[in-house]
């Protein structure tokens, strides 16, 4: 396409921002097979629009049956419908192509030209485009990255929503996705969009099979990091609909902002400043997905504070308040919230000088999350409260018998997930006694010695081995497979292994449901050479039998690191968990 460039705009091109009408509603009475119109039958008109920068493109071709009408307006963008409006803010000669595709797959096209001699200087100097691209004074454009430190840098809600109703990514939550090093450059010159992903991208699970992607690796068990070459050229355009600005990306390959949701890649601009963009799009699943970008190299001013946590004079009551709050110029603080980590409601106050108090009923270690609600970004501080005793009004719930932890049907005391292995809920391969349940867990590891499925209790809860020390579960695999069940205390972090107590059950027969029993009576834990606590019997030692163990780990052929090892398990049960009367 040849451009006619006027003085004062020598560096600017003629990619355009387009406004289109709704796609054509087809006549369902003509659903028979129809071919494309002939060259002689193809016809369209170009007429002036509401001003010298807008042109109305109208399809005058007579067609019957189901067909699609698409326009290439000569600037890298496309529109669909019998009547569309194209916006050309810069001088140039633009080749317009009308393509009509019939329902049998045949297509035909007709070409014409639009010559634009005017320049919409008001548009080029608009605050919106200047914020996005740097304007005419920035020929290299502006480069943006995912605002990985902001809550909600990725998120999802209903299609008609205006906020993160369903889920919002927490700061750095998607570190393993490969998206935080992606860069997005917008140029006013030629309306170029440059997408640099450094070799890999993050995509929704339903997008991983796109032929442009390869080597999918699951992240967080669902969506995938893929290998992807983003060297293909791309364009951007902007359109206003009912007072709202929409940013569109177009290319022969997928172009997106760090996380490919599919869909049309048209993003609603929810907020834009010189240093930040919040936007949302309808993904391929029909839901509204959210993105937050930040100018590359920009460091947001951050509210700083000190968290003061102290026990009050009241029984098991703790207070949280903020000291030395420093608020940078231009930022406001709208209060703060405290999650006391015991499953109670999250407390909030609009006064950041006020104290927040909470009474604990159960003894235990509780993670406490303090979130200061700043106007530019929330600031989070994580602390721990250790409650030494039960509240005097707390009534223990004691059981003499085992309780079901998870049965893949009605009971889930805590989720079972995998570490270095796959743990998925699948249909029971053989619904006969002793396991007639519909769904079961499938465990699979490959070239991993210590891959494990684990169930970790909620914060503050522990297994009570004082009444019974027996754990059981259903297993189904191959004869001779060793299935280990291990107890640990994760308060020790990377040294949790030093607290471990473990037993092994050997599967007796191929492909048959068996009851694996693990009785920890007489089983020791810890080692004297660690310099830490150890015992010969975790069931009789008060340091271990109550208020200590909080996680179960399950391994297949532990220590064997070669090949694939898999089996099924279900109905995990064991000693009472004080404070959890029933599962969810």
User: What fold does the segment set 304-387 form as a domain?
Assistant: Immunoglobulin-like (2.60.40)
Q: What is the pLDDT of residue 529?
A: 55
3-state secondary structure of 434: coil
Count of CB atoms situated within 10 Å of the CB of 342 = 21
The CATH classification of domain 403-574, taken from the options 1.10.1660.10, 1.10.8.290, 2.60.120.260, 1.10.3720.10:
2.60.120.260
Q: What is the pLDDT of residue 75?
A: 61
Q: What is the pLDDT of residue 8?
A: 34
Q: What is the pLDDT of residue 116?
A: 86
Q: Which tokens go with 303?
A: 């509210």
Which H or E run contains 425?
strand 422-427
Is 89 within 8 Å of 53 (Cβ atoms)?
A: yes
- State the Cα–Cα distance between residues 320 and 308, nearest whole angstrom: 6
CATH assignment of 127-295?
A: 2.40.128
Listed by start position, the domains of the chain span 17-118, 127-295, 304-387, 403-574
Q: What is the pLDDT of residue 19?
A: 37
The CATH classification of domain 17-118, taken from the options 3.40.50.720, 3.30.2310.20, 2.40.430.10, 2.60.40.10:
2.60.40.10
Which H or E run contains 118?
none
Q: Which residues of the chain have pLDDT under 70?
A: 1-33, 75-77, 395-401, 527-532, 581-584
Q: What is the pLDDT of residue 87?
A: 82
Per CATH, 17-118 and 304-387 having the same topology is answered: yes
Q: What is the pLDDT of residue 9?
A: 36
Model pLDDT for residues 416-458, shown as the tens digit of each residue: 999 999 999 999 998 877 888 889 999 999 999 999 999 999 9
Q: What is the pLDDT of residue 583?
A: 52
CA 128 and chain centroid, separation: 28
Q: What is the pLDDT of residue 171?
A: 85
Model pLDDT for residues 397-412, shown as the tens digit of each residue: 555 667 888 887 777 8
- State the Cα–Cα distance between residues 424 and 418, nearest whole angstrom: 9
Q: What is the pLDDT of residue 581?
A: 63
Phi-psi category of residue 545: left, alpha or beta, with phi > 0 → left and psi -120 to 50 → alpha: alpha
Count of CB atoms situated within 10 Å of the CB of 245 = 18
pTM: 0.51
Query: What are the start-end ranges of the E strands in 477-528?
Result: 482-488, 501-506, 514-519
């Amino acid at each position: 396409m040849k451009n006619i460039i006027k003085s004062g705009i020598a560096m600017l091109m003629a990619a355009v921002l387009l406004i289109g009408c709704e796609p054509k509603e087809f006549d369902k009475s003509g659903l028979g097979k129809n071919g494309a119109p002939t060259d002689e039958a193809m016809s369209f008109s170009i007429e002036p629009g509401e001003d010298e920068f807008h042109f109305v493109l109208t399809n005058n071709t007579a067609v019957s049956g189901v067909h699609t009408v698409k326009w290439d307006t000569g600037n890298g963008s496309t529109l669909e419908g019998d009547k569309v409006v194209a916006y050309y803010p810069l001088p140039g000669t633009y080749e317009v192509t009308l393509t009509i595709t019939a329902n049998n797959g045949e297509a035909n096209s007709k070409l014409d030209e639009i010559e634009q001699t005017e320049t919409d200087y008001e548009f080029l100097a608009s605050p919106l485009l200047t914020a996005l691209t740097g304007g005419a004074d920035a020929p290299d454009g502006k480069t943006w990255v995912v605002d990985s430190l902001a809550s909600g840098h990725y998120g999802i809600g209903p299609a008609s929503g205006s906020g993160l109703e369903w889920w919002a990514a927490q700061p750095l939550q998607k570190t393993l996705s490969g998206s935080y090093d992606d860069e997005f450059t917008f140029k006013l010159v030629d309306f170029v969009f440059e997408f640099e992903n450094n070799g890999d991208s993050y995509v929704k699970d339903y997008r991983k099979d796109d032929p442009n992607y390869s080597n999918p690796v699951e992240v967080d068990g669902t969506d995938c990091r893929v290998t992807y070459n983003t060297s293909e050229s791309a364009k951007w355009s902007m359109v206003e609909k009912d007072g709202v600005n929409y940013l569109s990306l177009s290319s022969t390959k997928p172009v997106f902002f760090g996380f490919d949701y599919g869909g049309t890649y048209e993003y609603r601009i929810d907020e834009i400043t010189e240093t930040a963009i919040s936007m949302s799009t309808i993904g391929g699943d029909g839901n509204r997905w959210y993105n937050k970008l930040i100018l590359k190299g920009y460091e947001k001013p951050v509210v700083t504070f000190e968290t003061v946590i102290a026990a009050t004079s009241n029984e098991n009551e703790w207070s949280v308040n903020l000291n030395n709050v420093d608020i940078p110029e231009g930022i406001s603080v709208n209060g703060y919230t405290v999650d006391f980590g015991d499953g109670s409601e999250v407390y909030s106050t609009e006064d950041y000088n006020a104290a927040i108090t909470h009474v604990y009923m159960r003894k235990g270690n509780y993670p406490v999350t303090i979130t200061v609600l700043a106007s530019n970004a929330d600031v989070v501080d994580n602390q721990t409260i250790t409650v030494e005793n039960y509240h005097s009004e707390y009534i223990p719930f004691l059981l003499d018998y085992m309780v079901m932890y998870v049965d893949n049907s009605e009971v889930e005391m805590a989720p079972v997930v995998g570490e270095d292995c796959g743990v998925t809920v699948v249909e029971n391969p053989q619904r006969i006694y002793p396991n007639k349940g519909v769904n079961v867990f499938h465990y699979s590891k490959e070239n991993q010695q210590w891959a494990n499925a684990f169930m970790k209790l909620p914060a503050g809860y522990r297994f009570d081995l004082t009444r019974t020390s027996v754990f059981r579960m259903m297993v189904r695999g191959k004869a001779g497979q060793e299935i280990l069940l291990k107890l640990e205390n994760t308060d020790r972090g990377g040294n949790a292994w030093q607290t471990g107590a473990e037993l092994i059950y050997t599967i007796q027969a191929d492909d048959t449901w068996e009851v694996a029993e693990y009785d920890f009576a007489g089983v020791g834990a810890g080692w004297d050479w660690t310099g830490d606590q150890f015992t010969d019997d975790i069931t009789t030692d008060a340091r271990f039998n109550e208020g200590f163990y909080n996680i179960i780990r399950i391994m297949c052929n532990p220590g064997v690191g070669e090949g694939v090892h898999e089996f099924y398990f279900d109905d995990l049960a064991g000693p009472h968990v004080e404070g959890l009367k029933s599962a969810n």
